[in-house]
Chains A and B, each alone.
Chain A
Amino acid sequence: MNNYRIMVIDDEKIVGDMAKMSLEQEGYAVETFLNAEPALARLKQEKFDVVITDYKMKGIDGMEVLRTVKKLYPQTKVIMITAFANLDAAIEALRGDVHDFFPKPVKIKELKESIKRALAA
């Protein structure tokens, strides 16, 4: 068990479930949310080291999550995942200081490596 905290926001339960299971194996503390509002409320209470968020969600979307996270905790790394391998989305996200960007399906191994890099930075 390490002390790193990871938040996963995705409106499909399976993404959060699988991410949580895989990342807890690495010793991270993982919290999952199905939409951004409660996730951001939670972020206001507590700092997370990495936030993994879906790009396209109903209500508050991934870009807004990114902006809010960066405003609250500039050091927190944001990893964006999206159902669409959308170049515009990737460019927009990268301009917005995102740590990494993955189209779904995301290889869990690569996600884990990305998290390691994020935490090492």
Chain B
Amino acid sequence: MNAVKKHAPAFFAHGAGLLKSAAAWVLRRPLLQRFFRAQRDFALVFRRFREVLDSNNRALEIITDIGEKLGGEYLFDRVYVRSAYADLFTHIANSIQSFDVLTGNRYPTLHDVFTRIDGRIRSMIEETPSPADLVLPFEDITPERSRDVGGKNVHLAEMKSVLKLAVPDGFAVSAAAYDIFIKYNGLEEAIARLVKDGEIVESERSALEYRIVTGEVPPELDAAIGAAVVRMRDRHRECSLAVRSSAEEEDGDYSFAGQFETVLNVACTKDDVVTAYKKVVASLFSPKALAYQQRMGYTPGALAMAVGCVLMVDAVASGVAYTSDPEGGDRLLINANWGLGVSVVEGRTDADLYTVTKDPEPAVVDIRRGAKELMVQTAPAGGVREVKTAVDLRERVCLTDEQIRELSRQAVVIERYYRKPQDIEWALGRDNRIYVLQARPLRMVTGEEAISSPQAIPDDGKYPVLLENRGVIVQKGVGVGRVFILRRLEDLETIPKGAVLVAKHDSPHFVRVMPSLSAIITDTGAPTSHMASLSREFRVPTIVNAENATEVLKQGQEVTVSVEDEGKVRVFGGRIKGLVDSVRQNFSRLEDLYEYRKKRYVLRYISLLNLVDPLLDDFSLEKCRTMHDILRFMHEKAVSELVESTRSSGAFKNRKTVKLDLPIPTGILVIDIGGGLDMHDGNDTARFEQVSSVPLRAVLTGMMHQGVWHSEAIALKAGDFLTSMMRMSDIVSDGESFVGYNIAVASKDYMNMSLRFGYHFNMLDCYCSENRRNNHIYFRFVGGATDITKRSRRIRFIAEVLKEYGFNLRSKGDLIIARLAQIGREEMIEILDQIGRLIAYTRQLDAVLHDDGAVERYVKNFLSGSYDLSM
């Protein structure tokens, strides 16, 4: 007996454990999950859906805020970034929780993705890199890591993984590794002392160089390099490495070509790699590299040195390929010599020169055989040596026609991918394959003078003002280029570099071309959209909601877009030289601050967007690399889940939809989720008297109020109608999911109502209980059939009316969001009555708002209880 008693708790605990694992097992079975999902009540699904959207919206607002605060116009510190991010984290975590319930744990790996990105962001904020951030195999390098591993490494990794070109295997030692190396050896102060009165202090410089070369790498870095070296040896057995600089901005806008050290033919052992690593790091502070950095406007010490360790290619021949002729001409120029490429890169000998035309297929048009007296080979004891080239080799060209064409094809692929002419280092291996060793933008001789003269916007009529003070500023700056009016999304492919993109709607798809745009102007759009956060990230001058930019601006027209500040937004015809972009100047000065760049880099893991098109296969969790990606992923999948569940068998199983039979034709279906309707007769229609939901009843009362519902049609102008046709797809596809128009989900105290009238949508969500602390009203109105001016006037009308009732509101274009919380039930019923009237009255109101003055008159009338439309 005693024994049983003693063991009982253990048994029960065990039993509970069994139940738990059984539940977990069930949850892991997709078919069962589907079954359970199918049985869920729609009201529950709907609630989870709303939770996901609410958290997501809040998260996006925080992302916008962080972007703004880190944008250069604010002094911020780590405390801010930390607390703003903590806030963001909480909202995303909440959203994931609701999302899991909503989808029945359909996406278990979401948690891993979230945790991984979160870890990276936190280590970035706290500046405590994890060992995984110190050394990265090429296969783990994604484009947003360019600060982590430098441009050169990123390009190599991309060409390998995205373009599937033959790029030798390798790993990167990151910028974070550089940071801890410098810190570990106490070199920050030595770096700070480098410059005095604008001059490099040579004694300080040489001392610093010495301290780097003789410095010690921190144990965690030492271990990480050791592990990477072992992995390389496992994969390639007999191998040696090229240890090359990959400074964070190298091979970006500035090439830094030849500024830093490359150590060739390094034995694949930890000690040799570490020694070479320090040599490369020290080269950041060589006299010529410092001079170059100063000339380019970098403060010495402002760059971090990442390093690439790449498998040496046992090269038969090597060289350089330009994908354009720097002097002009769309043809490839290829230099080649026997052996390693150093001889060509450093111009030590007279190399072969091949000229190749690109279209339609590469064709070799000229071969000039170089003297090639010297060549460089790997030395058996490590390093390289220069030797005289054997006579028979000198007299042969290095590549066959077919090899030249193959190299050219690869070069064109690279150029197309980066959308800029490229300077490519290549090698022909003994296996007869062409390897790509490096690709960077080719500096072209443009002859364009730098814009540096003082601010002056000419008003002599030479540059007509095409647009003035329209729209909402997303990103300030100046952009000069030709207008490209985007009619269809697929035309994105054909946008020339440097264009001013003008489109009807904003779209996250623009991210594909964003870095090469001069400016963006859209007719509609919101400053908190996906695109907007990308414009800020890439600092492309952007205005949204510019009304009719697509009509005013003409395809191919040269324009100067100047977005200075509120009230200082102008688009001029023509290319204005000498218009100073103070915004960009300020940015580039800021970008010169290492601290700033480092802190801002965290945005790469927060606000960038990689998931663009939900219809594509790569709209997947695996492609999520930022918090923004996660939010977008959840939003899309939550919408699908909701749509799916409206069709599933269990959604309305016990909660049938009931049509409201009202004196006005609202077409509202009610889904009663508890106490919303007073039905005992099993009918599928309900009269107003049977509506027992407090908030729903209040709103309907308002809608049926004498004289507010106008049944007569108000004629739309032809232009208005066309606008409405174009706007439909936009509204319906904006992801907000107006699922089932004219549906009211109601309980005794709660209601959520989505109403579509023509081309606009009302969404009203409210909780109206005895406890005033729980109560809220959320009202959202968007869209319309008339032109944006009239739609905006209607929004102003609504705003003015709602302000009267104490709403807190935000509006943009034809969208308004209004909130009111913590009001007592009686007062709330009165307000809901007014909102009901507002919903009914505004159905066609926009059509009669012919001028701004009309707004005021109608507001006055409405508030005084007069609902005549024909004034």
Contacts and interface: CB of A to CB of B under 8 A. Distances in A.
A107 B75 CA distance: 6
Contacts of B596: 14, 17-18
A1 to B, nearest CB: 15
B73 A83 contact: no
A18 B79 contact: no
Contacts of B388: none
A18 B77 CA distance: 10
Contact of A105 (B80, B586, B589, B595): B80
Interface of B: 69, 73-80, 586, 589-590, 593, 595-596, 599
Interface in A57-110: 81, 83-84, 104-109
A26 interface: no
Contact of B75 (A25, A84, A108): A108
Nearest to B593: A17
A118 to B, nearest CB: 16
Interface in A14-37: 14-15, 17-19, 21, 25
A10 B595 contact: no
6 contacts: A14-B76, A17-B595, A18-B590, A25-B586, A83-B79, A106-B76
B604 to A, nearest CB: 17
Given A13-B595, A14-B595, A104-B80, A19 B75 contact: yes
Interface residues of A, number: 20
A105 B590 contact: no
A12 to B, nearest CB: 4
A111 interface: yes
A106 B79 contact: no
Contacts of A21: 589-590, 593
Nearest to A56: B79
Contacts of B77: 10, 12, 14-15, 83, 104-105
Contacts of B589: 21, 25
Contacts of A104: 75-77, 79-80
A31 to B, nearest CB: 14
Tell me what chain B mostly uses at the interface: helix, strand, loop, or mixed: helix
Tell me what chain A mostly uses at the interface: helix, strand, loop, or mixed: helix
A89 B599 CA distance: 27
In the complex, which of the residues A10, A14, A106 has the most CB atoms of chain B within 10 Å of its own CB atom? A14
Given A14-B599, A83-B80, A108 B74 contact: yes
Nearest to A109: B73
Contacts of A17: 593, 595-596
B197 to A, nearest CB: 14
A107 B80 CA distance: 13
A108 B72 CA distance: 9
Contacts of B595: 13-14, 17
Contacts of A12: 77-79
Nearest to B600: A14
A79 B268 CA distance: 56
Given A21-B590, A83-B79, A106 B599 contact: no
In the complex, which of the residues B77, B586, B596 has the most CB atoms of chain A within 10 Å of its own CB atom? B77
A100 B69 CA distance: 20
A10 B78 CA distance: 12
Contacts of B75: 15, 18-19, 81, 104-106, 108, 111
Nearest to B188: A13
A81 B75 CA distance: 10
A10 to B, nearest CB: 7
A77 B77 CA distance: 23
Nearest to A10: B77
A104 B76 CA distance: 6
A104 B69 CA distance: 10
Given A10-B77, A18-B596, A83-B79, 13 more contacts: A12-B77, A13-B595, A14-B78, A14-B593, A14-B599, A17-B593, A18-B590, A19-B75, A21-B593, A83-B80, A104-B76, A105-B77, A106-B76
Contacts of B76: 14-15, 104-106
A9 B641 CA distance: 53
Nearest to B65: A105
B73 A107 contact: yes
A114 B632 CA distance: 41
A108 B71 CA distance: 11
B282 to A, nearest CB: 24
In the complex, which of the residues B69, B74, B75, B593 has the most CB atoms of chain A within 10 Å of its own CB atom? B75
A9 to B, nearest CB: 13
Given A21-B593, A83-B80, A107 B74 contact: yes
B189 to A, nearest CB: 12
A108 B599 contact: no
A13 B189 CA distance: 13
A97 B186 CA distance: 40
A18 B597 CA distance: 11
Nearest to B82: A83
In the complex, which of the residues A10, A19, A84, A105 has the most CB atoms of chain B within 10 Å of its own CB atom? A105
In the complex, which of the residues B74, B78, B589, B596 has the most CB atoms of chain A within 10 Å of its own CB atom? B74
A81 to B, nearest CB: 7
A56 to B, nearest CB: 9
Contacts of B586: 25
Contacts of B80: 83, 104-105
Contacts of A106: 74-76
Contacts of A83: 77, 79-80
A81 B590 CA distance: 21
B582 to A, nearest CB: 9
A65 B590 CA distance: 28
Nearest to A106: B75
B348 to A, nearest CB: 42
B60 to A, nearest CB: 19
Nearest to A14: B595
Contacts of A107: 73-74
A78 to B, nearest CB: 16
Nearest to B79: A83
A66 to B, nearest CB: 19
B195 to A, nearest CB: 14
Contact of A108 (B73, B78, B79, B593): B73
A115 B324 CA distance: 52
A105 B69 contact: yes
Contacts of B69: 105
Contacts of B78: 12, 14
In the complex, which of the residues A10, A18, A107 has the most CB atoms of chain B within 10 Å of its own CB atom? A18
A109 B72 CA distance: 11
Contacts of B590: 18, 21
A67 B590 CA distance: 33
A84 B73 CA distance: 19
Nearest to B597: A14
The 7 A-B residue pairs whose C-beta atoms are closest, nearest first, are A83-B79, A105-B74, A105-B76, A14-B595, A12-B77, A106-B75, A105-B69
A1 B69 CA distance: 28
Contacts of A84: 79
A25 B78 CA distance: 24
Nearest to A82: B79
Contacts of B74: 105-108
A12 B586 CA distance: 21
A83 B78 CA distance: 9
Contacts of A109: 73
Contacts of B79: 12, 83-84, 104
Nearest to B78: A12
B86 to A, nearest CB: 13
A74 B73 CA distance: 31
A19 to B, nearest CB: 6
B77 to A, nearest CB: 4
Interface string A40-60: 000000000000000000000
B333 to A, nearest CB: 41
A32 to B, nearest CB: 11
B388 to A, nearest CB: 53
Contacts of A105: 69, 74-77, 80
